[in-house]
Amino acid sequence: MATGWIRARAPATIANLGPGFDVFALAVRGPADEVAIRPAKRDSLQVHGVGAAGIPSTFSGNTAGITIEALRKATGISQPLEVRVAKGIPPGRGLGSSAGSCAAAALAFLKALPKSRDLGIAGVLRAAVEGEAAVSGRHYDNVAGALLGGFVILGSSEPLLLTREPVSPRIALAIAIPDFALRTADMRKILPPVVPLSDAVSNVGHAAILALALARGDAALAGRCLEDRFAEPVRAPFLDGYAEARSAALKAGATGFGLCGSGSSVFAFAPNSGVAGSLAEAMCDAFRSRGHAATPLVTAVDNRVPSAGLLPSFGRRFSVPAGRGPPSISWGHPPGISQSGLESRPDGITGETSRPRTPVLQHAPTPRRSRR
């Protein structure tokens, strides 16, 4: 391992996207966490940047340190490390702050210690999610989005099954980030244990069309598919300004509106950055009307692959099949049609090698609201 600092960055992410609870995640251009590591005689960790005062700064308590420890256990590498976490993703805003630190730490570890790359995507994801599990529950969506970029769909976490798609630049994102936080762990506790059949059917249908709309670059259709009948209805009452922000976004021309993860940020899709700017300001004004400062963010999906060059190469579209079951994801070829445009790799990834093809998308305590 080199003696100097090795750095890696991971983007903010929006999970759920309305109906895709624990299934969908988008990587977002702009806010990012950076983790730097170098060899040391003993483990240590420092945090600085956005919201650093409220984030654990011990190696065993921070998501970056927990991820590194999980990677060491998985690889047998015992090298002590000095770790510095530069926070660019505000915590408690539904933008994947803890996952960003997990992913950036994993990427820095892969850069510094090439032997760890033998874990492959699935192994690295399983290690990185240990950091997320320590603070907000064992869910893969944000971590997968931060490591892989683009639009990630989780079919299963055990065994692992996911697919990754780029999102058309024709879709812009309008985000409003209020000045208060909501703890993901608390917001998961209030979720209903049982979902009515009609609500489940609605979420599945909206999620399926939303995935296609994002791949096609149809901002209007994507916005109309953000309806969620599972998590958002029970979370919205804990987000002061939600109703006002939703109303303002729709009046300003948004085709849909949703929570970023479990909040407190909210978002809408737009056909271009100009419209997105108007939507972001309208949503922020709604929060301000409730006495909360809010920051607008006009951005787009980050289609870059943060782990590119560190893990086996793949194109912009790829899948990670399950460890058990079929050996690869179906990419829509009828029986008897050659799949010469696809390459299967030893680590179970299938991806494009020539022209892209379209895949077949196969009661609790009241939560506390912190105001960091």
CB count, 10 Å around CB of 312?
A: 16
Q: Of 192, 189, 200, 182, which Cα lies nearest the Cα of 261?
A: 182
Whether 35 contacts 108, CB under 8 Å: yes
**DSSP label at 146?**
H
* Residue that the structure tokens 């929060």 belong to: 287
**Bridge partners, residue 342, by sequence:** 352
CB count, 10 Å around CB of 30?
A: 16
DSSP string for 148-197? H-SEEEEEEETTEEEEEE---TT-EEEEEEES----HHHHHHTS-S---H
Cis before 271? omega within 30 = no
d(CA 93, CA 71): 27
Q: Which residues have a catalytic role annotated?
A: 132, 184
d(CA 30, CA 307): 17
Strand 266-270's sheet: what is its strand order?
258-259, 266-270, 172-178, 294-300
CB count, 10 Å around CB of 158?
A: 10
**Phi-psi group of 125: left, alpha or beta (phi > 0 → left; psi -120 to 50 → alpha; rest → beta):** alpha
Q: Where are the alpha helices (DSSP H) in the chain?
A: 63-75, 97-112, 120-136, 141-148, 184-189, 197-216, 219-224, 232-235, 242-251, 273-289
* Residue that the structure tokens 């985000």 belong to: 175
Backbone φ and ψ of 295, nearest 5°: -115, 125
